[in-house]
């Protein structure tokens, strides 16, 4: 566990490209091997490496078995395999140049190999509707992503040609058990044992005299992880966000948990001004554009934790495992059916609407050129495997599986790892435990959701470690006051990044999109309900294409600030007065 978090870049195929590799990552160990008389492969890495395999682990566990690891590259007799674990904690990308496959755990490591990167319009459409780019797409057309829980393999088709890639799913996880466990007390007992085992596996290699961090919101997931870490005898330091806006702070709950276990709580200021100051750094750290407004606050949280600890724990994946709030929009499907009847929309289309991004607004959001590229493409293709009814016949199990495969493995987990690695932090998520995850698919719906009470069985199990006022309080989630900041600290950034001159020159978005969103021209829901994450998605996209893609310089010139119609100016003035 002494090594810092790292990444790997490698190639496999015809020819020797070691000098190119060395120029891209000069400070990394390079291992070159032979597989046949003319076939070479090389890896640049500072992680677990053998003669024929390189493995990257997001958690920093020092002992890895042959099947362990979150992302891996394996060279066999005239063959290459690239794979990822089903939780998706470490991304893995690949591209083919001639008869050589290049692969890396960061998109930015492959970027210098592409003379002229092309934005994939389908990927951008996916980002706009999911808030992340669905695998196997990436924003760059020349690069593909390995999907979580899968392997891609190449071999030599003949003396000088690579075969087309073959993709296979690993042992399909997360299938509903044929026999469900309906006895509540028995389920509680088993779950408590599994939670302890998950923590034991994740702390076994940690010295007891070295502090570890926990990202503590005061919610049930992070509070339970805190309790279990303290019980395991570790020195725990908690980190919580302070947005500085009344009505958005959960510090009181986090402080209550910290006081209960007598551990220090470090409060991290995440004001609008601070978020703007790390917008570029967040885009750089994430490597991919993610449209969730929690990304920059989490960047600041891990930046603070890195000053004290090398390993940080979180409560991520608790919602996915135990039917948290993300399932409610689909379960309450009747909300959508009056407007979008079942006869008109498929279940996949209804599920896609629950992301609450730009789906259905395409003609008002995208430029005519980009719209022409995406009109014939169906985004529900990226949902079908996750929503497979044969894997999980009951609705709630199917939604939990989908949440793990989509919102977990393609969004929450990889960005948590990326933000940790950017600060030399190992990130450990106890709820990403294979045994625990498999066990949850023995649970019937009534032990997950009881009326309006979500994560019921987890709360019953947590009563062993936490007081009732923490266990049974209503879930709020991380509410980032983005809408408040758009009319205050963020206003200049909107003028800088999203003004009509910039968007028109990019020719992917409608030039006056920000104005249309803020003024209500796209509808009341987009202005009042969805504006927070959706406007942040656009800002993050612009920061990503500047900092990672290198497509444009980010000018701060005053002539980039767009003109405000008088009605919008008056609306901002009135809103600011209400905030005072």
Q: Which pLDDT tens digits describe the chain residue by residue (580 residues)?
A: 557 788 888 898 888 888 888 888 877 777 776 544 345 667 776 556 666 778 888 887 644 334 458 999 988 777 899 999 999 999 999 999 998 999 999 999 999 999 999 999 999 999 999 999 999 999 999 999 999 999 999 988 776 788 899 999 987 779 999 999 999 999 999 999 999 999 999 999 899 899 999 999 999 999 999 999 999 999 999 999 999 887 777 888 999 999 999 999 999 999 999 999 999 999 999 999 999 999 999 999 999 999 999 999 999 999 999 988 655 555 555 444 545 555 577 888 889 988 889 999 999 999 999 999 999 999 999 999 999 999 999 999 999 999 999 999 999 999 999 999 999 999 999 999 999 999 999 999 999 998 888 999 999 999 999 999 999 987 665 578 888 888 888 888 898 899 999 999 999 999 999 999 998 999 888 888 888 899 999 999 999 999 999 987 544 443 444 444 444 544 554 555 454 4
Phi and psi torsions of 155, nearest 5°: -145, 175
- Based on the fold, state whether residues 257 and 138 are members of the same structural domain: no
Q: Is the sign of the CA dihedral 336, 342, 344, 346 positive or negative?
A: positive
Structure tokens at 307: 């000053």
- Specify the length of the chain in residues: 580
Q: What gap in Å lies between CA 122 and CA 374, rounded to an integer?
A: 6
pLDDT value for 91: 96
The residues, ordered by sequence, that sit 6+ positions from 116 with a Cβ below 8 Å of its Cβ are: none
Q: Residue holding tokens 């929503």? A: 387
pLDDT value for 26: 76
- Based on the fold, state whether residues 440 and 571 are members of the same structural domain: no
pLDDT value for 349: 87
**Cα→Cα distances 88→84, 298, 339, 451, 454, Å:** 6, 18, 35, 31, 25
Strands 39-45 and 53-56: unpaired
In what helix (H) or strand (E) does residue 484 lie, and over which residues does it extend?
helix 482-486
Q: What gap in Å lies between CA 30 and CA 42, rounded to an integer?
A: 7
Structure tokens at 381: 């293709």
- Based on the fold, state whether residues 202 and 144 are members of the same structural domain: no
Asked if residue 290 belongs to a domain, the reply is: yes
CATH number of 298's domain: 3.40.50.620
Which stretches of 259-389 are assigned E, i.e. beta strand? 265-269, 311-313
Q: Residue holding tokens 């496999």? A: 12
Q: What gap in Å lies between CA 537 and CA 77, rounded to an integer?
A: 44
Alpha helices (runs of H) in 13-85, residue ranges in sequence order: 18-24
Query: 300: number of CA atoms within 13 Å, CB side?
Result: 22
From the list 329, 355, 340, the residue with the least C-alpha distance to 129 is 355
> Among the three residues 141, 169, 197, which one is the final residue of a domain in this structure?
169
Structure tokens at 292: 């969730």
- Based on the fold, state whether residues 268 and 149 are members of the same structural domain: no
Burial of 320: CB neighbours in 10 Å, binned 0-12, 13-18, 19+: buried
Asked if residue 298 belongs to a domain, the reply is: yes
Question: DSSP label at 498?
Answer: S
pLDDT value for 18: 85
Asked if residue 337 belongs to a domain, the reply is: no
Sort residue 272 into left (φ over 0), alpha (ψ -120 to 50) or beta: alpha
- Based on the fold, state whether residues 420 and 447 are members of the same structural domain: yes
Q: What gap in Å lies between CA 493 and CA 89, rounded to an integer?
A: 31
| Contact call for residues 142 and 117 (beta carbons, < 8 A) | yes
> Among the three residues 113, 142, 169, which one is the final residue of a domain in this structure?
169
Q: Residue holding tokens 């006895």? A: 183
Question: DSSP label at 49?
Answer: E
- Based on the fold, state whether residues 317 and 250 are members of the same structural domain: yes
- Based on the fold, state whether residues 84 and 103 are members of the same structural domain: yes
Q: What gap in Å lies between CA 226 and CA 483, rounded to an integer?
A: 31
When divided into structural domains, the chain yields a total of 3
Q: What gap in Å lies between CA 348 and CA 214, rounded to an integer?
A: 36
- Based on the fold, state whether residues 278 and 243 are members of the same structural domain: yes
Asked if residue 174 belongs to a domain, the reply is: no
Q: What gap in Å lies between CA 349 and CA 327, rounded to an integer?
A: 15
- Based on the fold, state whether residues 435 and 312 are members of the same structural domain: yes
pLDDT value for 554: 45
pLDDT value for 7: 86
| Contact call for residues 257 and 467 (beta carbons, < 8 A) | no
Rg of the chain over all Cα atoms, to the nearest angstrom: 24
Q: How far apart are the first and last CA of the chain?
A: 49
Asked if residue 569 belongs to a domain, the reply is: yes
CATH number of 146's domain: 3.60.20.10
Q: What gap in Å lies between CA 111 and CA 287, rounded to an integer?
A: 11
- Based on the fold, state whether residues 425 and 533 are members of the same structural domain: no
Give the distance, in angstroms, between the CA of residue 353 and the centroid of all CA atoms in the same chain.
Answer: 19
3-state SS, residue 483: helix
Whether the upstream peptide bond of residue 136 has omega within 30° of 0, thus cis, is: yes
> Among the three residues 112, 140, 169, which one is the final residue of a domain in this structure?
169
Asked if residue 427 belongs to a domain, the reply is: yes
From the list 80, 70, 52, the residue with the least C-alpha distance to 170 is 70
pLDDT value for 580: 46
pLDDT value for 560: 43
- Based on the fold, state whether residues 427 and 318 are members of the same structural domain: yes
The parent domain of residue 499 ranges over 482-579
- Based on the fold, state whether residues 543 and 562 are members of the same structural domain: yes
3-state SS, residue 241: strand
Give the distance, in angstroms, between the CA of residue 252 and the centroid of all CA atoms in the same chain.
Answer: 27
The residues, ordered by sequence, that sit 6+ positions from 482 with a Cβ below 8 Å of its Cβ are: 293, 490, 531, 532, 533, 535, 536
pLDDT value for 149: 95
From the list 192, 245, 215, the residue with the least C-alpha distance to 436 is 192
| Contact call for residues 41 and 11 (beta carbons, < 8 A) | yes
Asked if residue 521 belongs to a domain, the reply is: yes
Question: DSSP label at 233?
Answer: T
Asked if residue 75 belongs to a domain, the reply is: yes
């Amino acid at each position: 566990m002494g090594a810092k978090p790292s990444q790997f870049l490698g190639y496999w195929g015809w020819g020797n490209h070691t000098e190119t590799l060395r120029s891209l990552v000069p400070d990394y160990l390079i291992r070159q091997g032979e597989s046949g008389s003319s076939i070479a492969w090389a890896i640049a890495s500072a992680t677990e490496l053998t003669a024929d395999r390189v493995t990257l682990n997001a958690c920093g566990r020092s002992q890895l078995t042959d099947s362990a690891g979150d992302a891996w590259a394996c060279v066999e007799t005239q063959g290459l395999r690239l794979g990822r674990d089903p939780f998706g904690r470490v991304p893995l990308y690949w591209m083919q140049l001639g008869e050589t496959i290049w692969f890396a755990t960061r998109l930015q490591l492959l970027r210098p190999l592409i003379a002229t990167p092309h934005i994939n319009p389908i990927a951008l459409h996916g980002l706009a509707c999911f808030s992340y780019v669905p695998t196997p797409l990436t924003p760059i057309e020349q690069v593909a992503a390995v999907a979580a829980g899968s392997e891609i393999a190449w071999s030599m088709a003949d003396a000088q040609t690579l075969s087309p890639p073959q993709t296979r799913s690993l042992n399909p996880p997360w299938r509903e058990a044929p026999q469900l466990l309906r006895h509540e007390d028995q389920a509680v007992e088993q779950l408590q044992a599994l939670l302890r085992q998950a923590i034991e596996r994740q702390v076994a290699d940690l010295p007891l005299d070295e502090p570890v961090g926990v990202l503590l919101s005061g919610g049930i997931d992070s509070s339970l992880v805190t309790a279990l870490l303290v019980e395991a005898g570790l020195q725990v330091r908690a980190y919580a966000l302070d947005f500085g806006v009344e009505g958005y702070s959960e510090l009181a709950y986090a402080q209550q948990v910290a006081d209960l276990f007598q551990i220090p709580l470090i409060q991290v200021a995440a004001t609008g001004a601070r978020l703007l100051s790390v917008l570029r750094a967040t885009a750089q750290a994430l490597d991919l554009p993610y449209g969730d407004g929690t990304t920059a606050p989490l960047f600041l949280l891990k930046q603070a934790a890195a000053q004290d600890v090398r390993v940080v724990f979180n409560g991520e994946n608790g919602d996915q495992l135990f039917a948290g709030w993300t399932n409610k929009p689909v379960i309450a499907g009747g909300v959508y059916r009056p407007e979008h009847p079942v006869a008109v929309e498929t279940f996949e289309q209804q599920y896609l609407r629950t992301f609450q991004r730009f789906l259905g607004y395409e003609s008002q959001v995208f430029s005519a050129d980009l719209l022409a590229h995406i009109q014939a493409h169906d985004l529900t293709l990226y949902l079908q495997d996750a929503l497979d009814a044969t894997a999980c016949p009951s609705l709630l199990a199917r939604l939990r599986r989908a949440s793990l495969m989509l919102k977990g493995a393609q969004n929450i987990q990889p960005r948590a790892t990326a933000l940790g690695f950017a600060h030399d932090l190992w990130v450990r998520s106890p709820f990403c435990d294979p045994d625990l995850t498999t066990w949850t698919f023995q649970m019937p719906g009534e032990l997950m959701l009881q009326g309006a009470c979500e994560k019921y069985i987890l709360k019953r199990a947590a009563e062993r470690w936490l007081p009732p006022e923490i266990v049974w309080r209503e879930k709020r989630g991380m509410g980032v006051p983005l809408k408040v900041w758009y009319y205050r600290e963020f206003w200049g950034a909107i003028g800088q990044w999203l003004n009509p001159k910039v968007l028109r020159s990019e020719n992917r978005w409608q030039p006056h999109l920000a104005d249309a969103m803020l003024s209500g021209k796209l509808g009341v829901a987009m202005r009042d309900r969805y504006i927070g994450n959706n406007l942040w998605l656009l800002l993050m996209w612009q920061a990503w294409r500047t900092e990672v893609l290198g497509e444009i310089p980010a000018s701060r010139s005053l002539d980039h600030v767009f003109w405000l119609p008088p009605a919008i100016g008056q609306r901002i003035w009135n809103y600011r007065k209400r905030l005072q």
